[in-house]
Amino acid sequence: MEKASLERDPLPPIYEIPREFFVLKPPLDLEMHSMREVHRLCTQDYYKHKKGCSNFGSREGCPPGLQHITEILDISTLHFYFVRFHFQEYILQKMERTPGWTNRAYANQRHWQGHLKSQLVNRWEEVDQYNYPEYTLHLEPESYCRNPEAHGINVMQTLENHGFETGWCVENDQHEFVKFPKYMHQVFIFGKELPQIDQL
């Protein structure tokens, strides 16, 4: 496992939160779902979404019309490429700077997830594409590189298998968040691609 140095970026104070970059090299202790299970997870009920994720069947890069990762990559070459974000520290700063919000609003991924994805893209383009010249990280948002769970990888369990602390926001009976995980992780993947029929 390679670990990059702790980095801070020249961003507004609310985003001056520690984040660390990692590459997990194969062989990985990989957890996977069948695509049938992926479809079930995408369509299960959650807060204000009785039919599951609205992107299911309507957004490019989302199930059900996707291949399983084992049909795309040689799993023996699969790498996890990710950033660990100190989420509880972020929430505390957010509470200090914008008092009066609900806990669910503080944790809303629209405020931080895109930033982490952009950081991974920038790091690959500036640093790691030269460290892994034999691999390609497809950077378009709908690519399998940026959507591993949509292709059957259980990202959280795989991270836990490698000793990383993960977790969900915990909600009460009123659907308000009452506990936040210490870290959030944004994960991309890369590996040796298998030949596809339409490429032959």
Number of CB atoms found within 10 A of residue 66's CB:
20
Work out the pLDDT band at 198, boundaries 50, 70, 90: low
**So what's the pLDDT on residue 7?**
43
Residue 200 lies in a domain: no
Does pLDDT of 6 surpass 50? Answer: no
Residue 137 lies in a domain: yes
Q: Which residue has the higher pLDDT, 75 or 1?
A: 75
Q: Say whether pLDDT at 155 is over 70.
A: yes
The per-residue pLDDT for range 21-78, each reduced to its tens digit, is 999 999 999 999 999 999 999 999 998 889 999 999 999 999 999 999 999 999 999 9
Q: What is the pLDDT of residue 200?
A: 44
Q: How far apart are CA 182 and CA 200, in angstroms?
A: 46
pLDDT grade for 17, boundaries at 50, 70 and 90: confident
Q: How far is 83 from 183, CA to CA, in rounded Å?
A: 10
Do the domain assignments include residue 24?
A: yes
Number of domains in the chain: 1
Pull the structure tokens for residue 167: 């977790």
Q: What pTM was computed for the model? A: 0.89
Q: Report yes or no on 141 lying in a domain.
A: yes
Which residues 6+ apart lie within 8 Å of 167 measured at CB? 181, 182, 183
Supply the DSSP symbol for 171. Answer: E
| Domain presence at residue 114 | yes
pLDDT-based confidence at residue 10 (cuts at 50, 70, 90):
very low
CB neighbours (10 Å) of residue 149? Answer: 16
Domain span at 130: 2-194
CA distance readout (Å), 76 to 11, 21, 153, 190: 38, 22, 14, 11
